[in-house]
Amino acid sequence: MNILELIYYISSIISSIFVVFGVFVALKQIKKMKDSNEIQKQSVVADHKRRKSQSTIEFYDKINQETNKIINFIYKKREDGVLNKDDFIDKFNDEEREKIKRYLVLMERFSVGINTNVYDIEVFYRIAGFLTINIHEKLREYIKFSRTEGPPNPNRYGDFEQMVNSLNSIATRGNTPNDNAVIGAIFGPK
């Protein structure tokens, strides 16, 4: 073997070492990119959840002043139980009936966002879940009646009802705040 062959042989060994090293570095970079993509994905998911929670709070805050006035009216009208069809027809004037309808329209709109996963039901439950369940219970008979009123619509306030069912599911899981304290803080002791 002459010197040229020896140099050629050594250079091919060295180039093979560099190729193996290059493949190792490339694999390492691919793994880092994959890890980076996973972190980026987690970041995007966390950001989406944060924005969804923030949107829930913002929209509920937007309707809260109006709904609280209506809720206070409902509690003052019938602290003892549900509002039934006769209450709605016989005991309420037009302005009072419009207040209840307005509450239901606002909650139906909010419920569509909850049911389509635009808003976060867990966050909403923590804000006003028990209160919403309670008000829905008071309005249940009227909601049934309203579905036959005017042009019949068996799905009227259906999203609101679906959201309340979901809120009830959360409540039965047992991770509820002191709901009675929340109601007491809003409306005073019973």
pLDDT, tens digit (0-9, with 9 covering 90-100), for 45-89: 788 888 899 999 998 888 888 888 888 887 777 666 667 777 777
Residue written as token pair 């369940």: 133
Q: Which residues touch 81 (CB under 8 Å, ≥6 apart)?
A: 138
DSSP 91: I
Using alpha carbons only, how large is the chain's radius of gyration in Å? 31
Distance CA 71, CA 76 (A): 9
**Residue 107 CB neighbour total at 10 angstroms:** 24
Two structure tokens written together for 11: 């250079």
The rounded distance, in Å, linking the Cα atoms of 176 and 166 is 14
pLDDT at 155: 93
Q: What is the pLDDT of residues 172-190, one digit of tens each?
A: 986 555 454 444 444 444 3
Residue-level pLDDT at 12? 86
Q: Tell me if 136 sits within 8 A of 165, measured CB to CB.
A: no
Q: 30 or 163: which carries more pLDDT confidence? A: 163
Nearest to 118 by CA among 56, 57, 167: 56
CA distances from 98 to 73, 88, 92 (A): 12, 10, 10
Domains of the chain by residue range: 50-187
pTM for this prediction: 0.68
What is the pLDDT at residue 127? 92
Residue 165, Cβ density class (10 Å: 0-12 exposed, 13-18 middle, ≥19 buried):
exposed
Question: For residue 68, what pLDDT is reported?
Answer: 86
| Paired tokens of 54 | 């923030």
**Residue 190 in contact with residue 179, Cβ under 8 Å?**
no
In the chain, % of residues over pLDDT 70: 88
